[in-house]
Chains A and B, each alone.
Chain A
């Protein structure tokens, strides 16, 4: 079966523009996660969805960042008025059941965002 897919794979935008990043999780996975990884750094948690609701959005760095998930499947991460410090690889992951203590996360290939 298909893995987690993300689009676009690369995005170059100008400072101040809005961007939308998309994640298609593995079919049947109820939990979905967004992370951000800056060059040479570890993963920074952004937001977690269980179904269509987001019980944990504590990692969103500012109110310019928002995310939604519809139909318990596709998720969109939106960054408004992008800044240069938003440049990073944005990774999406999904897992079978977020409340399972032994959840293995399956990652997409990421979207590399560059803000000029």
Chain B
């Protein structure tokens, strides 16, 4: 299966700054999901945005979706050192499986 791509591959910021990660995907999606991964282990679901939605918020997270460009962005506001992790987008095209991108590695320095 094809993978989408996150951009940038790595991002380094200071605490308190905002972090923006972008994702381009390949298919016509039903929804797009963002996951976080600490230390190369299990992923944690952050937020899901449906194909008929354009923006969604959850706490300090804001996700946008542009289906015409097949792209999504994840914004983390007022970042904290604990936000340091890898972030993956995953496209769901109506079947049961998800296709994950390669991820953005975020480093937030105190």
Contact = CB atoms under 8 A, between A and B. Distances in A.
Nearest to A39: B40
A25 interface: no
Contacts of A50: 96
Contacts of A33: 97-98
A103 B1 contact: no
How many chain B residues sit at the interface, stated as a range, is 20 to 34
Nearest to B96: A98
Interface string B44-62: 1100101000000000000
A31 B97 CA distance: 10
Interface stretch (A13-21, A75-83, A107-115): A107-115
B45 A106 contact: yes
A107 B94 contact: no
A33 B88 CA distance: 17
A56 B102 CA distance: 22
Interface in B28-44: 30-31, 33, 35, 40-44
Contacts of B48: 102, 104
Contacts of B25: none
B44 A107 contact: yes
Interface string A87-112: 00101010100110111111111100
B42 A108 contact: yes
A59 B35 CA distance: 21
Given A56-B96, A58-B1, A110-B42, 4 more contacts: A55-B96, A91-B43, A93-B43, A104-B48
